[in-house]
Amino acid sequence: MKSSDELKKIVKEKYSEIAKASVSCGCSCCGSPQVTDISDFSEDYKNKDGYYEDADLGLGCGIPTDFAEIKKGDFVLDLGSGAGNDCFVALSLTGEEGKVFGLDFTDEMIKKANLNKIVVGATNVEFVKGDIEDMPFENDFFDVVISNCVLNLVPNKELAFSNINRVLKPNGHFCVSDIVLEGKLPKEIESAAIMYAGCVSGALQKQDYLDVITKAGFKNVEIKKNRKIELPDSNLLEFVNKEELDKYRNSGTGIYSITVVGYK
């Protein structure tokens, strides 16, 4: 079992690689295929207000802004903001009266997001480097916290949701899209570092994930969207043989993208 620091290093290296590739060519098409193929659970943002194509690296697993109930004037925090995709969509909802902060722990993603910010011409968005387990924000600061396929990558999810609770204003809420499991993954997949960076083997069982949220003090926790994910055989066969894959396919184990809300 890898340590928390080792897991963070794996994630940081893989997502830094994606950010560097996307900066070099100006598009998401040349992100690392070894990562992006596995973690390609993303949904189509193209008709969303505020959407900017270069900020969409295809690394999400939902559209949390669809259910986040962001209002004009809200202060919004996006955890694991990457190149800024969800931040720019959230900006279209907060209006000039509000402000959006994006938190990411990779220098390359912060750089990419700030380049996109200049092109978009957004003045009320700020990209901050920091760790989700130790957020550099004051208590009771945000109206809404969002995140897209990121919290499953955080080793200490209890600490992550505790920090979300801390930075939310009283009666504030979060809306996150994330990967969860129903059933157990084969150990070869679960232990593969690339799968961890690809949002799969760091995932909790669905009920355990919801329990972490309620233990952090949130109420009215509700899954707004539940979507089953099918990983391609070609990807899984990098980690297991055909017999193991068939056993996995027949086991009833499921990988799901959920979008969940909770209130402080």
Residue 203 and residue 179 in contact, taking contact as beta carbons nearer than 8 Å: yes
| pLDDT exceeds 90 at position 251 | no
Helices 107-120 and 4-25, axial angle in degrees (round to 10): 40
Q: Can you give the pLDDT at residue 29?
A: 30
pLDDT digits (tens, 9 = 90+) for 53-95: 999 988 889 999 999 999 999 999 999 999 999 999 999 999 9
- Closest to 66 measured CA to CA, from 216, 262, 198, 260: 260
Q: What does the pLDDT average to over 154-177?
A: 96
What is the SS3 assignment for 9-75? HHHHHHHHHHHHHHHHHCCHHHCCHHHHCCCCCCCCCCCCCCCCHHHCCCCCCCCHHHCCCCCCCCE
Average pLDDT value over all residues in the chain: 85
| Domain limits, the chain | 4-263
Grade residue 255 by pLDDT with cuts at 50, 70 and 90. Answer: confident
Helix (H, G, I), strand (E, B) or coil at 191: coil
As a whole-number percent, the residues of the chain with pLDDT over 90 amount to 57
pLDDT higher than threshold 50 for residue 36: no
**Residue 6 pLDDT:** 59
According to the model, what pLDDT value does residue 66 have? 97
> pLDDT value at position 239?
84
pLDDT of 215 strictly over 50 = yes
The CATH code of domain 4-263 reads 3.40.50.150
Rounded CA separation 90/92 (Å): 5
